[in-house]
Structure 1
Amino acid sequence: MSKIRRLAGETVLYGLGSILPRFLNFLLIRPHTDKFPPEAYSVITKLFVYTAVINVLFTFGMETAYFRFANKNDLNEQKVFNLTQTVVVSISLFFSLVLVLLADPAASFLSIPGHANLVVWLAAILFIDAVVAIPFARLRLQKKALQFTIGKLVNIGIIIGLNYYFLYVVFDPARGVGFVVLANLVANAFYLLFFAGMLRQWKPSYDRTLSPDMFRYAYPIMLMGLAGMTNEMFSRATLEWWLPEGFYPGHSADYALGVFGACYKFAILMNLAIQAFRYAAEPFFFANAADKNSPGLFATVNHYFIIVCCLLFLAVSTNLDIIGFLFLKNKAYWEGLVIVPVLLLGYLFLGVYYNLSAWFKLSDRTYFGTFLTVGGAIITIVANYILIPLYGYMGSSWATLICYASMAIACYLLGQKYYPIPYRVAAGMGYILGTVALAWGINKIPFDNLWIGTGVRGIIIIVYIGTIFFLERKSLTRAVR
């Protein structure tokens, strides 16, 4: 079995463990938009935006450090596990306690005064997420994709079950979004049971030589993660700050944030595919770094990654009408679906960037990743500041695309200087631009009947897939041998 076939198989398995749970979580958008109007949904958006950013600080880049050091032949994996887990638990415990102590002012900052309990629950969620981050990384290193998948699926099953129970059986409007947070907390508690055996093996430890080396390797990854989360979350955090009053006639900034936050989730479908690929690809890149044929292998991986992402872009961006009908029960949210194609394209470039970033991880130049993501964060802030007052949440969506495309271009140019890889740039851009043009043309075709339109677009997509297979048949055959 070829290395690319093995990578594809592992991506599918990790997809079941990462894409499927997050996709099932995505399906909660229907009951959430049913029970919560846009103003209330904006609270959910803000809560999970800030937790996503803080989670990067809690794990401190130690997942990548674990992969790097555990793959060194002269180091004991158990020792590396102990050291990285000690760092993560120590940091997350400290910051969790800070959040608990500052729960009241934090609740006021999040526009939920009087609900300090939600901040405490979020602190507990963040702490548990951090505690199990290295155990999940260990499953990936040990190729235990099935166990990884089971843990993720059971967790999301609990979240979905509790959401429906809280929202449709014991729902109390006074508690509102607190039910959503509580469901996540209970589900995360399951992880402590799931990893009980592995956590019992952990022995808190510190090595005078190795621990500082891990810190030096990991802290640029952490800074890169914080900047990356700024790129991903900043628009949702600041839309209400920079949106002019009355921009959307008759609606508040909270209303606009609720609509934006709900519709943003459809673009995350692309990000889910990228995440599944990253789970499989990160250890894959490290494992094949010493292979003399690795540059060509990495280039081929990136090429087919772009093709798959283009197909996903086409499928989602040309079917927004049926997506809105199926998943957004409250029609008030439908107006925001125009942002989805722009965000999908932005995430496609983010996926390309993750592929290209292999060069600075493999050459131990992780500080370049910090420079690139901090630069992206600056672009995000400036672009949002300029575009939100002009175009509202559509401007914020364009800021996302500009940021990720700029990061991908800069990463490619630097990589060719320090770690040359023969990427098929012209072919990749041809697929991206051709797919965008095709999607634009399809969306210009008027259909009076929703289901007929969906069927016709489905046929066009199938023909497009066949065309790609015809164009790639020779190289694809060589890749899977």
Structure 2
Amino acid sequence: MNEVKALAKQTVVYGLGTIVPRFLNYGILTFMYTRIFTKAEYGVVTELYAWMVFLLIILTYGMETGFFRFSQDKDNYKEVYSTTLLSLFVTSTLFVVLVFLFIDPVSSFMRYSDHPDYIKMFAMIVAIDAFTAIPYARLRRENRALTFSLIKILNVVITIIAVFFLLYWGKNIYERSDGWFRRVYNPDYGVGYVFLANLIGSASSLMMLLPFIVTTKIRFNKEIWKRMINYSFPLLIAGLAGSINETLDKIILRRMVGEERGLEIVGEYGAGYKIAVLMSLFIQMFRFAAEPFFFERAKKERARESYAFIMKYFVIAMLVVYLVINLYIKGFQYIVGSLFWDSMVVVPIVSMAYLLYGIYLNHSIWYKLNDFTRFGVYITLIGATVTILINVVFIPYYGYMASAWAHVASYLSMIIMSFIFAEKRFKIDYQFNKMVSYFVIAIFMVVFSRSINIPNIIAEIGINTLFLALFILYAQYKDKFVTTIFKGDR
């Protein structure tokens, strides 16, 4: 079994904990939210979850990757885990305390002064998710992919049940009840119940991860912590810059478009973005499996050749996903309500941006392996600068289309800078010509499919399926794509 097949197998297992929960999320929760909430109400959900991405980067401060890096020394594994766990517990607890103490100015700053309750729940969700990032990392480090996946899936199932109870079943109970339930349940709370359900889900994950927390002998090694912080702090800066690339558009759209329509625009854009994020699920699934794999592979011979080989097949596989999403967009659009379908125009743009981001993540292993994490800062700061400039300059003219293209420009600039910095420090000979040819073919297929008008839906599906089959057959002919992924043949 070669490294591609081994990595593919781990990726599929981790996919149970990444793809399945997200598909449940999109297939059920997004389906529900975009049908029961207005654009403005869904804009609240979109905006606050954008803030959540940003704050999770701050509260984990690169320690997840730091844990993988320093836990390679088996003699210090338990001490590294304990030190990391204690560090995040203290900072996460402090975050919740500070938000509760200064709830009025925090709510006002986030423009939710009329709903400080949203912000309190939001703070607790972020704190729990930040803290549990390390027990999850331990499961990945120990290759306990099934346990990891099971907890992730149960988290989403519990959240979905809570959402249904609070938004649907609760209303029925309220209408028939004349007792205590009418005093604690507000049928008009709406969006607030989304955050309450998420809090219940996050708390349930914490409970399920307790065996990997309470059984740990708590020891704080100051020297290890200092080394981890020195390694991880640049990753924090890089993560913050990266979160700007990921979330800034959904935060500033409201402010640049104006309060009157701002949340509506954010809600509409957020719905289209959700479809494109399907691409990121596969990227995330791959990252969970690849990060430990790359660190372990670094100690073996011909590691760079393996990285180049994996990159090529990663690009082909992600282009297949890109084609599936965009060739069958008329099916995927039903994930969101018809009120939001105008935003489908951003899907091919944002999904391509995520594919570029996946390439960057693949290549970024060069500075993580060699403790050159400062270059991660430089690269993501450049990407963040591109994101800010395009959004600020072009949103007033092109609205959220400017935000969509900003993602592409940002991640493309990050790829270019990563290769420039790596050239003299950790050069890997990738097969650029082949990868570019696959990109050109896939983009041509999507553009052609979008440009022709076929009134017969069966004929349209048939033509798009032919495109997809031809791409896979071409990849099999040129690079034995299918047999390499499934059989391990090279």
Q: Structures share a fold, TM > 0.5? A: yes
Map Cα deviations across residues 33-79 of structure 1 (whole Å, 9 max, x no partner): 11101011110011111111101111111111111111125x32111
Map Cα deviations across residues 325-377 of structure 1 (whole Å, 9 max, x no partner): x2222x22111110110101111110000000000000110110011111111
Alignment of 1:454-473 (within 5 A): 454-473=461-480
Q: Are 1:35 and 1:167, in contact at CA under 8 Å, matched by a contact in 2?
A: no
How far apart, CA to CA, are the structure 2 residues paired with 1:202 and 1:96? Answer: 24
Map Cα deviations across residues 297-345 of structure 1 (whole Å, 9 max, x no partner): 0001010110011111111112222222x2222x221111101101011
Cross-structure match for 1:284: 293
Q: Report the Cα offset of residue 244 of structure 1.
A: 6.9
Cross-structure match for 1:377: 384
How far apart, CA to CA, are the structure 1 residues paired with 2:145 and 2:366? Answer: 25
The 3-state SS of whatever aligns with 1:149 is helix
Q: Are residue 132 (structure 1) and residue 146 (structure 2) matched?
A: no
Alignment of 1:43-442 (within 5 A): 43-73=44-74, 75-171=75-171, 174-243=188-257, 252-324=261-333, 326-329=334-337, 331-442=338-449
Q: Report the Cα offset of residue 254 of structure 1.
A: 1.9
How far apart, CA to CA, are the structure 2 residues paired with 1:475 and 1:48? Answer: 37
Q: Report the Cα offset of residue 452 of structure 1.
A: 4.0
The 3-state SS of whatever aligns with 1:417 is coil
How far apart, CA to CA, are the structure 2 residues paired with 1:157 and 1:449? Answer: 38
Q: Report the Cα offset of residue 415 of structure 1.
A: 1.4
Q: Are 1:82 and 1:204, in contact at CA under 8 Å, matched by a contact in 2?
A: yes
Q: Are 1:155 and 1:188, in contact at CA under 8 Å, matched by a contact in 2?
A: yes
Q: Percent identity?
A: 33
TM-score, scaled to structure 1: 0.94
Q: Report the Cα offset of residue 447 of structure 1.
A: 2.0
Cross-structure match for 1:36: 37
Question: Runs of 4 or more off by more than 6 Å in structure 1?
Answer: none
Q: Residue type of the partner of 1:182?
A: L
Q: Residue type of the partner of 1:57?
A: I
How far apart, CA to CA, are the structure 1 residues paired with 2:3 and 2:94? Answer: 42
Map Cα deviations across residues 378-408 of structure 1 (whole Å, 9 max, x no partner): 1110111112112110111001100001101
The 3-state SS of whatever aligns with 2:221 is coil
Cross-structure match for 1:248: none
Aligned residues: 473
Which ranges of structure 2 fall in alignment gaps of 5 or more residues? 172-185
Q: Report the Cα offset of residue 459 of structure 1.
A: 3.0
The 3-state SS of whatever aligns with 2:188 is coil
The 3-state SS of whatever aligns with 2:430 is coil
Q: What RMSD, in angstroms, separates the aligned Cα atoms of the two structures?
A: 1.8
Q: Report the Cα offset of residue 467 of structure 1.
A: 2.1
Q: Report the Cα offset of residue 480 of structure 1.
A: 3.5
TM-score, scaled to structure 2: 0.93
Q: Report the Cα offset of residue 464 of structure 1.
A: 2.1
Q: Residue type of the partner of 1:461?
A: L
How far apart, CA to CA, are the structure 1 residues paired with 2:344 and 2:382? Answer: 28
Q: Are 2:79 and 2:220, in contact at CA under 8 Å, matched by a contact in 1?
A: no
Q: Report the Cα offset of residue 178 of structure 1.
A: 0.7
Q: Residue type of the partner of 2:239?
A: G
Map Cα deviations across residues 243-292 of structure 1 (whole Å, 9 max, x no partner): 379xxxxx822211110011111111111100010001000110011222
How far apart, CA to CA, are the structure 2 residues paired with 1:257 and 1:443? Answer: 25
Note closer, same or farther for the CA distance 1:476–1:422 as it changes in structure 2 (3 Å cut).
farther
Map Cα deviations across residues 143-194 of structure 1 (whole Å, 9 max, x no partner): 1000001000000111112222222222456201111101111111112221
The 3-state SS of whatever aligns with 1:235 is helix
Q: Are 1:4 and 1:480, in contact at CA under 8 Å, matched by a contact in 2?
A: no
How far apart, CA to CA, are the structure 2 residues paired with 1:207 and 1:39? Answer: 48
Cross-structure match for 2:453: 446
Note closer, same or farther for the CA distance 1:82–1:398 as it changes in structure 2 (3 Å cut).
same
Q: Report the Cα offset of residue 115 of structure 1.
A: 1.9
Q: Residue type of the partner of 1:42?
A: G
Q: Are 1:103 and 1:117, in contact at CA under 8 Å, matched by a contact in 2?
A: no
Q: Are 1:46 and 1:110, in contact at CA under 8 Å, matched by a contact in 2?
A: no
Q: Residue type of the partner of 1:341?
A: P
How far apart, CA to CA, are the structure 2 residues paired with 1:388 and 1:115? Answer: 28
Q: Are 1:317 and 1:439, in contact at CA under 8 Å, matched by a contact in 2?
A: yes
Q: Are 2:241 and 2:381, in contact at CA under 8 Å, matched by a contact in 1?
A: yes
Q: Are 1:100 and 1:120, in contact at CA under 8 Å, matched by a contact in 2?
A: yes
How far apart, CA to CA, are the structure 2 residues paired with 1:256 and 1:382? Answer: 20
Note closer, same or farther for the CA distance 1:450–1:167 as it changes in structure 2 (3 Å cut).
farther
Q: Report the Cα offset of residue 233 of structure 1.
A: 0.2
Q: Residue type of the partner of 1:31?
A: M
Q: Compare 103-112 and 274-283 and name the one that shifted more.
A: 103-112
Which ranges of structure 1 fall in alignment gaps of 5 or more residues? 246-250
